[in-house]
Amino acid sequence: MNNSSWIEKLRQRWQLGSIFQVVVVLLVFTCTGFTIAFLKKPLLRFLFGEEAASSVLAAILYYIFVLPLYNVVLLAYGFLFGQFDFFWKFEKRFLGRIFSGFRKTKK
């Protein structure tokens, strides 16, 4: 099995021009994930206080609050790494899928 085949599949699926671009996109996802994980405890303490930061309700609300933050951080890293266009299109598709469930269907 060719070790680079999964990278080539990602390149084709994401319609990127090179393997290097795939690596940069994966690096952006990695940096975004680490940033959000790093911000979790301070964000929970800020939003819910020291005691409430470990409650189940706080955890649920955290995930509701973190989704928009994740998207903003993803676009920021995408911009810094020169891949803003890719991530802007990615975000539009992602948000379109989320909000398509809220649209009324025509009968």
Question: 82 in the Ramachandran plot: left (φ > 0), alpha (ψ -120 to 50) or beta?
Answer: left
Measured CA to CA, the distance from residue 79 to residue 94 in angstroms comes to 18
Tens-digit pLDDT string for the chain (107 aa): 455 689 999 999 999 999 999 999 999 999 999 999 999 888 888 877 777 666 788 778 888 888 899 999 999 999 999 999 999 999 998 888 877 776 665 55
* Cβ-contact 44, 62 below 8 angstroms: yes
Q: So where are the chain's domains?
A: 28-90
- Provide the 3-class DSSP secondary structure of residue 60: helix
In this prediction the pTM is 0.79
